[in-house]
Amino acid sequence: MLAELARLGPAEIVADIPEELRRAVSAQLPTVRVTAPPLTAVETRERFQVVGFSLDESLAMQRSLDALAAFVRRVGFGGERGVLREPEFYRARAFMALDANTRRHLDLTRAGGQNPRATLVATLDRCRTAMGSRLLGRRLVAPLVERAAIAQRADRVEALLRDYPARSTLQEMLAGAYDLERIAQRVRVRRAAPRDLGSLRRTLGLLQPLRDALPAALQEYREAIEPHADLLELLERTLVDEPPATLAEGGVIRPGASPEVSECIAQRSEARERMAALEERERQRTGIKALKVKYSSPFGYAIEISKSNLALVPPDYVRKQTLAGGERFVIPELKELEIAISSAQSRQLRMEETLYANLVETIAERADALLRTADAIADLDVACALAQIAAERGYVRPAFVEGSTFDVVDGRHPVMEVLAGEGFVPNDLHLREAEGRFVLLTGPNMGGKSTYLRQAALLAVLAQIGSFVPARSMTLGIVDSIFTRIGAGDDLASGQSTFYVEMAEASNILRRCTRRSLLLIDEVGRGTGTLDGLAIAQAICEYLLGLDEHAPMVLFATHFHELTALAETHPSVANFHVTAVESTARSGAPVFSHRVLAGSTSRSFGIEVARMAGLPAGVIARAKEIAAALGERPAVDVQAPLRTRLSRPGGHEETQLTLEW
């Protein structure tokens, strides 16, 4: 449940839950509020039919909807009117399982480093609408596991990839669309501002041209994108061309839309014309050429005269306001005109409020249809964006097969290849049903092991959201879950050490993985002593290998070179390493090729990397001395079986027990 809540990323959870669970939610989602629902839940206006679930599940869902509807009404959205969109029922197993740790490690939607653009969503987002960008983010954290649904999405991407003119035209039109989803929701709760309706009108004006521009392969969108011609006509007839920000400013309703509004506007125009005539007449009468009639919100209309002309002010002028550079006066006729303008404006505002409320009410009745259209536009936008990325970067369509297989030729990390430019090195990955299902990856620090692990996961995510992938070819069996154990840090708030966090993540992986899972395990056991760390790492490997036909696909990166001996006793283990050579240059820095090749290596180049990071020369020299001294000691072979020998030394009664490694 916590993983699903983290995927959805709610702002508020309406639930009555035990304190222990509340603390768990707060720890996992510290920014999310948990609010108790109303004590008495009022039934929703409509009873939604829940299909495909048990009676208990259906009843629980319906009660949840009732409580949510009561809560929404209590906080003042929509009054007695229904404000809930028709719910979508689903099971979590319809999506690839990605827990919060995995999403964080893979930088799907949020960057773990300093570069906020170093995320998968930022790399792929060529969407032209806010709706499309949000949908792309939601898909990345919930890849599909049904091949037919994945293929349907990929077919759309492929059609747009092949038809550049249609894709370009559609994207140009989509760039002019406003956030129809958010506007429809604001209309639904009767909180849409005039400019929201102006944006709605401009977006509705794009729908029919958008439908006409769809290529033959995407005609399914014609049914989903309803043109809403009647709403467009209503908005064009009722709303002014450039609506003000708020209704209180007035001038929202087009004059021709209402005779009463037209009459008020005519009265105000007539009064302003008379006021202009009064201004000119007073200039002639007083001889003050700089005389002006001005308006200020606190004092209304007044005749403004500068200090240099105050001697010319007629006796019938009544002083109203003193200014730094002059004074303001009023006369009876000016007061009458001000009252006429104010009265007409007040009546116009009241009429516009009524007409605007009726307009919003009419549109609100079509809110569900508008939201369905918004969904279709967002879907089309994502398909265009993924096709654009595939065209720009040479992505290919992955092939899906039965079973649990992961076969990639010249795969590339979709984010790192953008950041690294042309210098990124592609690599193969082959995880098969029997042999090579467990890859032990060794190699130096900074060699690219973590990038290689993350690359595999991101390729699976891309493939199962219906996207093309950065590779020369890819064949994949459906992955139902991805688990990662990459990096760790102290959890100071709960008093958990780095090693504890590491072991908690490993525990979660071992308990929840299936045959169709992809496991990315990087440097497990490094948070404790070398001997304990090695023992735990080997025990985890043996546990996973012991699952036999239920064993998941595993990429296991490690500096414990002793683990490579597992390939001798387990045919599913394949040793690979990231290549690097020691430089002959004076700096001594290693040269990383970032190529992943068969076999293993025991070189970590740790001291050389420390020198590259700027560690003082004296520290580096001493580290080399210590490493040389430690290297002369006999290594402990933890792979060798424990041998015991019992002996009785001559003439002694005691028994000697000798344990040898």
Helix axes 259-286, 332-364, angle to 10 degrees: 160
Give the burial string for 585-602 (b: 16+ CB within 10 Å, else e).
Answer: eeeeebebebbbeeebbe
Domain that holds residue 281: 255-357
pLDDT at 219 over 80: yes
Does any domain span residue 645? Answer: no
Burial class (CB in 10 A: 0-12, 13-18, 19+), 50: middle
Q: What angle do CA 225, 231, 237 make, to 5 degrees?
A: 145
Judge whether 628 and 587 are in contact, CB under 8 Å.
no
Residue 384's pLDDT is 97
Are 423 and 499 part of one and the same domain? yes
Q: Which residue has the higher pLDDT, 530 or 187?
A: 187
Sequence letter at residue 168: S
Judge whether 181 and 374 are in contact, CB under 8 Å.
yes
| 106-135: average pLDDT | 91
Of the pLDDT bands very low, low, confident and very high (cuts 50, 70, 90), residue 40 is low
Judge whether 559 and 526 are in contact, CB under 8 Å.
yes
Does any domain span residue 566? Answer: yes
Dmax over CA atoms of the chain, in Å, equals: 143
| Residue in 341, 347, 346 with CA at minimum distance from that of residue 278 | 341
Residue 636's pLDDT is 45
Residue 646's pLDDT is 46
Candidate from 140-149, 317-326, 473-482 with smallest mean pLDDT: 317-326
Tokens 């370009």 locate to 168
Does any domain span residue 213? Answer: yes
| Dihedrals phi, psi of 153, to nearest 5 degrees | -65, -45
Judge whether 37 and 64 are in contact, CB under 8 Å.
no
pLDDT at 651 over 90: no
| 111-118: average pLDDT | 81
Are 384 and 451 part of one and the same domain? no
In this predicted model, what pLDDT tens digit does every residue of 119-129 receive, in sequence order? 999 999 999 99
Are 583 and 440 part of one and the same domain? yes
Are 140 and 154 part of one and the same domain? yes
pLDDT at 370 over 80: yes
> What does the alpha-carbon distance between residue 123 and residue 418 come to, in Å, rounded to a whole number?
8
End-to-end CA distance of the chain: 47
Q: Which residue has the higher pLDDT, 648 or 263?
A: 263
Residue 45's pLDDT is 53
Are 170 and 295 part of one and the same domain? no
Structural domain count, the chain: 3
Cα distances (angstroms) measured from residue 50 to each of 65, 88, 89, 475:
12, 9, 7, 37
pLDDT at 653 over 60: no
| Dihedrals phi, psi of 188, to nearest 5 degrees | -60, -40
Pairing, β 97-98 against β 33-35? unpaired
Residue 630's pLDDT is 67
Tokens 């879907």 locate to 379
Q: Which residue has the higher pLDDT, 299 or 487?
A: 299
pLDDT at 468 over 70: yes
Range of 21-35, 149-163, 305-319, 428-442 with top mean pLDDT: 149-163
| 47-55: average pLDDT | 75
Count helices and strands (H / E) in the chain.
Answer: 21, 19
Of the pLDDT bands very low, low, confident and very high (cuts 50, 70, 90), residue 632 is low
630: Cα separation from own chain's centroid: 49
Q: Domain of 469: which CATH number? A: 3.40.50.300
Candidate from 12-26, 29-43, 204-218, 604-618 with smallest mean pLDDT: 604-618
Q: Domain of 291: which CATH number? A: 1.10.1420.10
Cα distances (angstroms) measured from residue 419 to each of 115, 241, 366, 389, 390:
10, 44, 45, 15, 17
Are 320 and 261 part of one and the same domain? yes
Q: Beta strands of 318-458 (E only): which ranges?
A: 318-322, 326-330, 399-401, 406-411, 427-431, 438-442
Alpha helix ranges (H) inside 141-258 = 147-162, 164-174, 180-188, 194-212, 220-224, 229-238
Judge whether 239 and 253 are in contact, CB under 8 Å.
yes
pLDDT at 650 over 60: no
Partner residues linked to 296 by β-bridges = 300
pLDDT at 108 over 70: yes
| 97-122: average pLDDT | 88
Residue 277 has a CB neighbour count (10 Å cut-off) of: 11
Tokens 């202009």 locate to 276
| Residue in 269, 284, 278, 287 with CA at minimum distance from that of residue 330 | 278
Q: Beta strands of 323-437 (E only): which ranges?
A: 326-330, 399-401, 406-411, 427-431
Residue 50's pLDDT is 74
Does any domain span residue 378? Answer: yes
Tokens 């998941």 locate to 552
> What does the alpha-carbon distance between residue 288 and residue 282 come to, in Å, rounded to a whole number?
8
Q: What angle do CA 562, 566, 568 make, to 5 degrees?
A: 115
Phi-psi region of 236 (alpha: psi -120 to 50; beta: other; left: phi over 0): alpha
Does any domain span residue 648? Answer: no
pLDDT at 502 over 90: no
Are 402 and 504 part of one and the same domain? yes
Residue 46's pLDDT is 54
Of the pLDDT bands very low, low, confident and very high (cuts 50, 70, 90), residue 657 is low
| 407-431: average pLDDT | 91
Does any domain span residue 81? Answer: no
Are 216 and 170 part of one and the same domain? yes
Are 371 and 321 part of one and the same domain? no
- Supply the DSSP string of 96-142, one letter for each residue: -EE-HHHHHHHTSSS-SSS-TT-SHHHHH---SSHHHHHHHHHHHTS
Are 452 and 568 part of one and the same domain? yes
Residue 92's pLDDT is 86
Of the pLDDT bands very low, low, confident and very high (cuts 50, 70, 90), residue 648 is very low
Residue 490's pLDDT is 43
Of the pLDDT bands very low, low, confident and very high (cuts 50, 70, 90), residue 492 is very low
> What does the alpha-carbon distance between residue 7 and residue 10 come to, in Å, rounded to a whole number?
9
Residue 134 has a CB neighbour count (10 Å cut-off) of: 17
| Residue in 39, 92, 37, 95 with CA at minimum distance from that of residue 65 | 37
Cα distances (angstroms) measured from residue 73 to each of 67, 88, 139, 522:
10, 20, 30, 49
Are 332 and 204 part of one and the same domain? no
In this predicted model, what pLDDT tens digit does every residue of 67-105 receive, in sequence order? 887 888 787 765 455 567 778 888 888 999 998 889 989
Are 474 and 505 part of one and the same domain? yes
| 393-401: average pLDDT | 96
Alpha helix ranges (H) inside 546-636 = 606-612, 617-631
Residue 544's pLDDT is 92
> What does the alpha-carbon distance between residue 331 and residue 329 come to, in Å, rounded to a whole number?
7
Does any domain span residue 12? Answer: no
> What does the alpha-carbon distance between residue 545 and residue 548 come to, in Å, rounded to a whole number?
6
Partner residues linked to 656 by β-bridges = 647
- Of the chain, the percentage scoring pLDDT greater than 90 comes to 48
Mean pLDDT of the residues in the chain: 85
For CA atoms 379, 385, 390, 395, give the dihedral sign: negative
Does any domain span residue 45? Answer: no
Domain boundary, last residue among 589, 605, 621 = 605
Q: Beta strands of 491-631 (E only): which ranges?
A: 517-522, 553-557, 573-581, 591-598
Structure tokens at 284: 């002639």
Q: What angle do CA 278, 283, 284 make, to 5 degrees?
A: 100
